[in-house]
Amino acid sequence: MHVHILGICGTFMGGIAQLASSMGHTVTGCDANVYPPMSTQLEQAGIILFEGFGVEQFAQTPDVVVIGNALSRGNEAVEYVLEKGLSYTSGPQWLAENVLKDRWVLAVSGTHGKTSTSSLLAWILDYNNMAPGFLIGGVPANFGFTARLGDTPFFVVEADEYDSAFFDKRSKFVHYHPRTLVMNNLEFDHADIFDDLAAIQQQFHHQVRTVPANGLVIYPAQETAINEVIAMGCWSEQQTVGDNSDWQVQLNKSDGREFQVRFRQQDSVQVNWDLLGEHNVQNAVAAMAAAHHVGVSLEHAAEALTCFKGIKRRLEIRGVVNDITVYDDFAHHPTAIRTTLQGLRQHVGSARVIAVLEPRSNTMRMGVHKQQLAEALIEADEVFVFEPAKLDWSLRDMLSGISEKTVISDSTQTLIDKISDLAAAGDYIVIMSNGGFENLHQRLLDKLSDLNK
């Protein structure tokens, strides 16, 4: 079968492409920008890529066109597919019908921590010889790729609440029908497609409805928004994480690198690992709970966590120059920004933390969380913020409470110059964006290196 994918270079659609190729299908695809690392992964898999959405890519008519949710009516390729009556589907639906059918699906959903938790879960299963398939919206360092079919019935999927396609406005995760479901947390996000938190909760409720009675739903006991989802109806076994719950955790080190996990006041295990922050501890416990549902003991899960190498763009060290450490982090929501900086602060103590932020996501650009931004950055000693074009709210007004430590500029080069002038040995620089940020990470490292010559 010839599968053609529109919008192939995103992590999700790129993962779909790799799965389809692994199944023996001929896979081609296109995107507006074809660039590494995803383009490299796809080309290594023998997938032919077209840049842009011109109709010439349909010279060979595909059996099915998988359309990414970033594409809409008016796109040249989309209009061609509709006009010619080609068979088409969404990425989530293709995944459900061709990969997830008859598999034990372990889905990880939530506003934050989906990529980390699903990566942790896939690694715990793999370490314990369960060879799962997976599709993750990031690159776990233990695997080096975003997706694989796996050799057993188990399949781990990062279950995103964003919509499926221009013709299917249901959340992606409604298609997955998990037997094991993790709901990490729930806040208002994706303001470009959801009117309010209640609209997102409705989609989460739809997801819960797809879990069978002999399945398991795992969620934090103290998360009000998720408790409200559960109250709408849940027909499956439930396990909670947190104080006075099924899964309890105690930090032995404030930076989260050593903690104790106990299940129902009986089994208990200590975890020592390299990830930072209480948020990652919560991700780990949720992954342990999901793995436990398919037979992995706490002890074996803890062993796996000691060998976990992290995920690209999740507080990933991009380089150390002149004893200045530069991190790359995907944080793009105030809660993620705050927890990332808190985890690093607990680890480095009184050392100087420099935060560099690009408010790039649709929700951030719309100003939905602008009132929370200053507080989210409170743990940073110095703050540098990139000001996007056509922002219809004032970054300076929103960050006025921390103006004495904040630099705002619409030029990444200006930010690089000012950070380089300020940075000194022993500093930790965290660059936070859900995009490429004009390659600011490497340009900053290069500038810091030049200063030492």
Total number of domains in the chain: 3
260 and 323 part of one domain: no
| DSSP annotation string for 50-64 | EES--GGGGSS--SE
Mean pLDDT rounded to a whole number for the chain: 92
- In DSSP terms, 30 is beta-bridged to 6, 50
- 24 pLDDT more than 80: yes
Q: Tens of pLDDT along 330-349?
A: 877 888 888 889 889 998 99
pLDDT at 122: 98
Residue 309, SS3 per DSSP: coil
pTM for the predicted model, two decimal places: 0.87
Please give the pLDDT value at position 453. Answer: 62
d(CA 211, CA 105): 10
Verify that 300 and 320 share a domain, yes or no. Answer: no
- DSSP result, 337-394: HHHHHHHHHHHHTTS-EEEEE---SHHHHTTTTGGGHHHHTTT-SEEEEE--TT-SS-
In the predicted model, is pLDDT for residue 80 greater than 80? Answer: yes
**441 and 412 within one domain:** yes
Which residue range forms the structural domain that includes residue 402? Answer: 316-451
What is the CATH number for 399?
3.90.190.20
428 forms beta bridges with 325, 353
State the Cα–Cα distance between residues 336 and 432, nearest whole angstrom.
10
Same domain, 85 and 108: no
* Pair (147, 285) in one structural domain: yes
Q: How many CB atoms lie within 10 A of CB 435?
A: 10
270 and 337 share one domain? no
In a domain, 32, yes or no: yes
Residue 59 covered by a domain: yes
Residue closest to 329 by CA, chosen among 347, 317, 343: 317
User: Are 20 and 126 members of one domain?
Assistant: no
Taking Cα atoms as reference points, which of 172, 17, 193, 18 lies closest to residue 109? 172
Which position has the higher pLDDT, 209 or 343? 209
> Does the structure show a pLDDT above 90 at 284?
yes
Tokens representing residue 379 in the block: 């743990």
Residue 209 has pLDDT above 90, yes or no: yes
What is the DSSP pairing of strand 316-321 with strand 324-329? antiparallel
Same domain (yes/no): 280, 132: yes
Q: Encode pLDDT of 103-122 as tens digits.
A: 999 999 998 889 999 999 99
Same domain, yes or no: 264 and 128: yes
Whether residues 295 and 430 fall in one domain:
no
Higher confidence at residue 152 or residue 331? 152
- Nearest-angstrom CA–CA distance, 144 and 293: 26
118: domain CATH number?
3.40.1190.10
Residues 377 and 333 in one domain: yes
Among 243, 277, 306, the domain-final residue is: 306
**Among residues 306, 336, 356, which one ends one of the domains?**
306
Residues 372-402 pLDDT 10s: 888 889 999 999 999 888 888 888 888 888 8
Q: Is pLDDT of 303 > 70?
A: yes
Question: What is the C-alpha separation between 446 and 423, in angstroms, rounded?
Answer: 13
Q: Quick check: is 96 in a domain?
A: no
Final residue of a domain: which of 30, 55, 89?
Answer: 89
Domain co-membership, 371 together with 421: yes
